[in-house]
Amino acid sequence: MSPDLDTVGGQLDALASGASSARELTERALDRAAHAQNRLNALISSVGADHALAAADAADYNRAAGRAGPLSGIPFAHKDLFCTAGVPTTCGSRMLENFVPPYSATVHERIDAAGGVLIGKANMDEFAMGSSNEHSYFGPVHNPWDLTRVPGGSSGGSAALVAARVVPFATATDTGGSIRQPAALCGVSGIKPTYGRVSRWGMVAYASSLDQAGVIALTVADCARVLDVMSGFDPRDATCADRPKIDVAAALARPLQGLRVGRPRQWFGAGIEDGVGAAVEAAIAEYARQGATIVDVDLPSSEYAIPAYYVIAPAEASSNLSRFDGVRFGHRCADPKDLADLYKRSRAEGFGHEVQKRILTGTYALSTGYYDAYYLRAQRVRRLIANDYARVFADVDVLAGPTSPTVAFKLGEKLADPLALYLADINTVGVNLAGLPAMSIPCGFSQGLPVGLQLVAATWREDLLIGAGHGYQQVTEWHRAAPPGVSP
């Protein structure tokens, strides 16, 4: 049997046995990336093949010398908002089209030190604002399962690259669902850890109290393996927590027998497609078959999650994105007549429509006379939502439900109605408001398109998520399904 070269675990086995070299795996990833690019548009910033192959050769050398790191020789892609010294970092925006950062994100430093081989930077919604990847300055990403459909967003490039078996893992970030929703729509696994588990240093900020880096891969075991490398205390991020690491081996060994699974009634309300609901119910039934206890639970404040999120995230964005002023880095307009003109035109030219809209929304919510009614009230609602989750986790280990109410929709289908696009995150944003760890794993198909099962656990309990997700993948095959046309 040929080795499984699509997963991190399989590639590490092949490297350890000598069946493959890091150079071979990197050449394979580069070939596949080139083959997929015309169809998917999933990569935007290039590392350069020479650069990637040199890193692969270094990994081969280190392995031969007995110094292999935990990801030595594994090709991967970053979502293009992790700063990479010497490699362009665009954030999907014209504002940073020509930006080459002078330093690297902590996440990149850690994966690099572990031996990972960066092959490119993945397309994304501009500044991570979107749920369809249609808001990228560099054009939309196409879903590998159906090229006329969206891959989800904002980490659409990361999810598409993993689904198309270009790389065995990609980094991603999740502010309101941006790891889980594209993972669901592309039929791959994605984990968003607890807020504070992974350093945000060197990650271009959207909404700082919500942003969290994570991983997209084919399996939960791979997600856990990479998260283990990425996570941990970083003094450079004031909100990065100084906590013990996840015991990944113990988490993977957790049995489903005796697991207490909560089924939030509010996640199965109006708007859930029949096929999505059926696949998710079947997955929950599988948990019951494996000896888990299923309990219906209530998250009564769920209806407030979307409005609270669309106050808080744009408010933080309007502040964070004020740094893009055409002075120190990024796009500058031509021939500014004065300093105000320089600021205003550089920003208007550099930011796309959705980003401008969210900046205006946030500016409005924070402005005199509206701060109490919108921003402060949204923050109170945020506590209400966090309290809902804290209450249910007294009785259950994980929550399970649909990641997205629908399967991947057609490109352009929701652009005319921006609020419909906002509702794509209806089951995911509450998790970010509360700062909880969550995951999406493939659990079936509807209309021939993948359906994602969202699992959520209490703060710092990624071990429960990893156990529940991995246990499910031990008894099901959905995560092995590949879209058509994946090999060169």
Partner 1 sequence: MPVSVDSAKVRAIAELARLAIPSEAEAVLATELSAVLDLFAALAAAPVDGLAPLAHPGDPTLRLRADLVTETDQHEAFAAVAPAESAGYYLVPKVIE
Catalytic residue among 21, 45, 136, 154: 154
Give the closest residue to 202 by CA, choosing from 352, 126, 279, 91: 91
Q: Is 392 in the site for partner 1 (CB under 8 A)?
A: no
Q: Is 303 in the site for partner 1 (CB under 8 A)?
A: yes
Where does 165-287 show beta strands of DSSP type E? 169-174, 189-192, 212-217, 260-264
- Region 95-134 residues binding partner 1, contact defined as CB under 8 A: 99-103
The correct pick among 164, 311, 407, 426 for binding partner 1 (CB under 8 A) is 311
Q: Is 238 near partner 1 (CB under 8 A)?
A: yes
Closest separation in Å from C-beta 174 to partner 1: 13
HSE, side-chain direction, 13 A CA sphere, residue 447: 13
Which of 233/445 has CB closer to partner 1?
A: 233
Of the two residues 330 and 442, which places its CB atom closer to partner 1 in the complex? 330
- CB-facing half-sphere around the CA of 89: CA atoms within 13 A: 24
Give the closest residue to 469 by CA, choosing from 403, 416, 387. 403
Nearer to partner 1, 287 or 351 (CB): 351
Residue among 352 and 450 whose Cβ is closer to partner 1: 352
CA–CA distance, 75 with 169 (Å, rounded to integer): 8
Residue with tokens 């993993």: 162
Q: Any contact of residue 88 with partner 1 (CB under 8 A)? A: no
The reply on whether position 196 binds partner 1 by CB under 8 A is: yes
150 vs 433, which CB is nearer to partner 1?
Answer: 433
If the CB atoms of residues 215 and 359 are measured against partner 1, the closer one turns out to be 359
Q: Cα–Cα distance between 150 and 326 in angstroms, integer?
A: 32
CB of 456 to partner 1, least distance (A): 13
Under rule CB under 8 A, how many of the chain's residues touch partner 1?
A: 74
Contact by Cβ (8 Å): 144, 64: no
Q: Is 327 in the site for partner 1 (CB under 8 A)?
A: yes
Q: Look up 154 and say whether it is catalytic.
A: yes
Question: How many CA atoms within 13 Å lie on the side-chain side of 19?
Answer: 12
Least separation, in Å, of the C-beta of 60 and partner 1?
31
**SS3 call for 59:** helix
| β pairing state of 212-217 and 75-79 | unpaired
Cα–Cα distance, 122 to 101 (Å, whole number): 16
Measured from the CB atom, the residue of 303 and 395 that comes closer to partner 1 is 303
Site for partner 1 in 209-228 (CB under 8 A): 209
Residue pair 30/134 in contact by the 8 Å Cβ criterion: no
Residue 369 tokens, joined:
């006379």
Q: How far is the CB of 47 from partner 1 (least distance, A)?
A: 18
Q: Which residues contact 374 (CB under 8 A, 6 or more apart)?
A: 311, 315, 364, 365, 366
144-173 residues in contact with partner 1 (CB under 8 A) are none
Identify whether the C-beta of residue 464 lies closer than 8 Å to the C-beta of residue 229.
no
Q: CB 23 → partner 1: shortest distance, Å?
A: 31
Could you confirm whether 414 is annotated as catalytic? no
Catalytic residue list contains 121: no
CA separation for the pair 28, 72 (Å, rounded): 16
> Is 369 buried (19+), middle (13-18) or exposed (0-12) by CB count in 10 A?
exposed
40-69 positions binding partner 1, by CB under 8 A? none
**Site membership for partner 1, residue 301 (CB under 8 A):** yes
Of residues 20, 45, 155, 178, which has the active-site annotation? 178
When asked if residue 376 is in the footprint of partner 1 (CB under 8 A), the reply is yes
Q: Which is nearer to partner 1, 99 or 268 (CB)?
A: 99
Catalytic site residue from 45, 79, 155, 440: 79
* Residues 399-458 contacting partner 1, CB under 8 A: 418-419, 422, 433-436
DSSP letters, 118-147, are: EEEEE--SGGG--SSSTT-TT-PPPBTTBT
Residue 381 within binding range of partner 1, rule CB under 8 A: yes
Structure tokens at 193: 């850890």
Pick one of 1, 2, 337, 416: the residue that binds partner 1 (CB under 8 A). 337
Residues 240-279: x/- map of binding to partner 1 (CB under 8 A)?
-x--------------------------------------
Per rule CB under 8 A, is residue 390 in the interface with partner 1?
no
Triad 371, 372, 377: Cα angle to 5°: 110
CB of 354 to partner 1, least distance (A): 10
Q: Which residues are catalytic?
A: 79, 154, 178
